[in-house]
Amino acid sequence: MNNGKALGYDGIDNIIVKVTFNSYPSLLLHFFNKCLELKYFPDHLKIRLVILFHKMGKDEHNTKSYRPTCLLPTLGKLLEKLLLQRFNFQLKTNKLQHPLQYGFREGKSADDALLHVISLLKQARRQEKPAVLISLDISCAFDSLQYIFHQR
């Protein structure tokens, strides 16, 4: 955890969490272990503070000129990291990830995926086989997703 990061809605700084952990490690360990044991992610750790950043050189009156970012509570981020580590461990241990899965994998990158595609194209050329590469780039992909909102 880096010091000086932006705070979530709760105002709890990374420094406070570090000092608490160094002084009373069992307090946070008990909290996280209890969350895992109960399979429970507290609602108050899911609350996001959305901040809009203006894109330089863009019209400030156009909504597309802003980039949203979400600030989450520090404890929620730590619990997410813990869950992600355990999830990835299970995926690796039980060999549940496809070997060609490049996104969101430690040690894999977009460059690795590109090198694999180039390798396949070169192999097809050497074997004088036809090869087709279809590429899809959706402009503002995140903005074009449809969301269903519902109230409890």
Q: Model confidence over 11-54: pLDDT tens digits?
A: 999 999 999 999 999 999 999 999 999 999 999 999 999 999 99
Q: Has residue 152 got a pLDDT over 50?
A: no
- Arithmetic mean of pLDDT over the chain: 89
Q: Would you kindly state where each structural domain of the chain is located, as residue ranges? A: 1-96, 99-132
Q: Has residue 144 got a pLDDT over 70?
A: no
How many whole angstroms separate alpha carbon 133 and alpha carbon 124?
12
Digit-coded pLDDT (tens) for 68-85 = 999 999 999 999 999 999
How many whole angstroms separate alpha carbon 52 and alpha carbon 39?
33
68 pairs with which residues across the strands? 52
User: Do residues 38 and 111 make contact, with C-beta atoms less than 8 angstroms apart?
Assistant: no
How many whole angstroms separate alpha carbon 27 and alpha carbon 75?
12
pTM for the full model? 0.71
